[in-house]
Amino acid sequence: MKSLKTDDVMKKGIILVFATMLCCACCGPKTNTAVYLDDSKPLEQRVEDALRRLTLEEKVALCHAQSKFSSPGVPRLGIPELWMNDGPFGVRAEILYNSWEVAGNNNDSCTAFPALTALASAWDPSLAARYGKALGEEARYRKKDVQLAPGVNICRTPLNGRNFEYMGEDPYLVARLAVPYIQEIQKNGVAVCVKHYAVNNQEQWRDSVDVEVSDRALREIYLPAFKAAVQEGGAWSLMGSYNLFRGEHCCHNDLLLNKILKEEWGFDGAVVSDWGGIHDTRQAALNGADIEMGTNKPYDEYYMADAMAELFRSGEVPMEVLDDKVRRVLRLNMRTAMNRNRPWGSFNSPEHTALAREVAEQGIVLLKNEGNLLPLNTEKFRSVAVIGENATRVHAGGGGAAKVKARYEITPLEGIRTRFGDKVKVNHAMGYCSYTPLADRVIPEPYDNAELKKEAVAVAAASDVVLFIGGLNHNRYQDSEAFDRASYELPYGQEELLEAILDVNENVVLVLVSGTAVDLSFAGGIPAIVQGWYGGSEAGNALAAVLAGDVNPSGKLPFSFPAQLEDCGAHAFGPEAYPGIDLKEVYKDDILVGYRWYDTKGIEPLYAFGHGLSYTSFAYGKPKTDKSFYAKDGTVKLSFDVTNTGPVDGAEISQVYVSQSKASVMRPVKELKGFAKIFLRAGETRRVEIELPVSEWAFWDEAGAGWVVEPGEFVLHVGAASDDIRHSVSVDVK
């Protein structure tokens, strides 16, 4: 018995020892998590911890691509790769890892949001924020880390093939829309990559044209939206442009990237090259490039790969230069791919579809409406002819980098038939063909344009009203990356076709599907003209809603329509100013871009910046300011009443322009410095209040290399468009 008890005690002791050991193992000190992996640590502390762990080879690898749309991480340390994605209107279809061929997936059809020209025409920062939020959600769901958007370049000429990717001719408007777009995308843990920095305003010779522009025009016109994107939007990455500026490619340009972007503006993100935009290893190392993408070489032969590593290994370029690049890439990675707390996103949701339609509706601009032909009266018009190739053409899958694989795209004809089909007879004719054979192949034209024209005229004659859905498309030399437009005129014989239609039916509504201005000098006899843009997935439904009057159009133009191309400042000085001579281009229009040029030179545009009609009318009360004298760092509080004096509810975009009565330098007649969009019931009056910081009235002083607000009288102009000023009020700055 005694021995049994002893055995029991021994067993219990052994069990107790093991239990104690287990407890110590479970409750003892844990292995410390590396600082760079610890989400609770400050970002900069994590970046520095990761940086000190990297070899030279790993640092350099972070600075160049590993596939068409990704750059490497550091597998040894668990730092993931970065996945990038076009574009500004949706999440691009997946392509093969090391090829531009589409992967052929069946789960990458996205919501196609309207082009940014449509968003800009809504003049609504809150709508821009919702657009950015939805785009960020779609990118996040598709596991993208960097969305190559938005484009904030200035529309200097209507011939630029990528105008449809941008937000107009005025830097203030572009900035006010870009900032909320950027902020909301990045709340999804997806970085924006603001593009294309800078003075990238044409596609012709885009890889090699050397742009010369004054410091003043650079600062007042071409950089403000980028500056706002960085300092207000908090952009996490930025893309250099293809062109040269003052002899250096913009993707490794010391003035633009080092001195202005990083030193002056305090940008802490990564500079990503445009695809194939790096041309020199030493310049890329020293002049501010951080990630090289798209160079047509094996990845280890990129300019910022093995060749750059040798510069640092030999000491020819100091190691701190490389470390600065790597810090920026790590910072970008920790904000996106390494951010374990970012949301999951959503894809093709009903909310995204509804938003795409809302943006398309709010962006449509009613340019002309003689005799109130619109909205269509289905009691008066019992048959409608829908004519034009763009009535049935889809556009989301074209245009270059901006193309997306849309889950669906409602064409104008589909939208019109859905909305009007049970009330009127809808007749359809193609009218013209936009077939453009490739230069190296002879292919029979699939349509006879003469027969198409004959058919269309017959359909027009047999109908009460004609809806001509024309404009441009994403073919070469139209609205397309890599090509500027060949002509300002409407292509494919549309002008002649419209004139023939007017001969048999005077009730014509011209709907322009385009991303830029077109020549409408022939269109005096057309009673109604609508700028419809590229409207995305819900384009046809949005257009039909406006034509029917279900939605009262409220869009305003984000750029001017010159009556003739030569009226535009970029085209007023011959080829030296556009597209350049011997790959040298001088922006002789200087600060007078868009309405600034027309106002200052006394040239009347066909349709002015800010122009847009409604199915109702609005009256403006006289503006008042809170006081008459302001300091240079003060803020003017401007207020005025707007009344809906027409028969239907609608939204009005009120615009405030500022001019300086006397200045020591040439200044434009006026410049946009504020706007507000309000919705008013028929007969309703509302007070509009806009705050105008006086500091934003400054000009760039080239002699002093800084911003200057000169004391004196300033005039604030309140109006419905740049050429429709209703009232003005003067204030003094002391």
Active site residues: 274
Residues 490, 494: Cα–Cα separation, whole Å? 6
Q: Distance between CA 213 and CA 244 in Å, rounded?
A: 11
Which one-letter DSSP state was computed for residue 469?
E
Q: What are the DSSP calls for 648-690, one per residue?
A: S-EEEEEEEEEEESS-SS---S-EEEEEEEEEE-TT-EEEEEE
Q: Which helix (H) or strand (E) holds 386?
A: strand 383-387
Cα gap 181→480, rounded to integer Å: 23
Going by the DSSP 8-state scheme, the letter that residue 694 receives in this structure is G
Helix extents (H) in 209-349 = 215-217, 224-231, 281-286, 306-313, 319-335
Do 251 and 274 form a contact (C-beta atoms < 8 A)?
yes
594: left (phi > 0), else alpha (psi -120 to 50), else beta?
left
Cα angle value 677/681/686 (rounded, 5°): 55
The amino acid that residue 14 corresponds to is I
- Calpha distance 560→427 (Å, rounded): 34
Distance CA 374, CA 616 (A): 11
State the first-to-last Cα distance of the chain, in angstroms, to the nearest integer. 108
Structure tokens at 536: 């995305």
Q: 253-258: long-range contacts at Cβ-Cβ below 8 A with a sequence spacing of 24 or more?
A: 253/287, 253/288, 254/286, 254/287, 254/288, 256/197, 256/198, 256/288, 257/197, 257/287, 257/288, 257/289, 258/287, 258/288
Q: What pairing do the DSSP bridges indicate for beta strands 383-387 and 425-429?
A: parallel
On the 0-12 / 13-18 / 19+ scale of CB atoms within 10 A, 309 is: buried
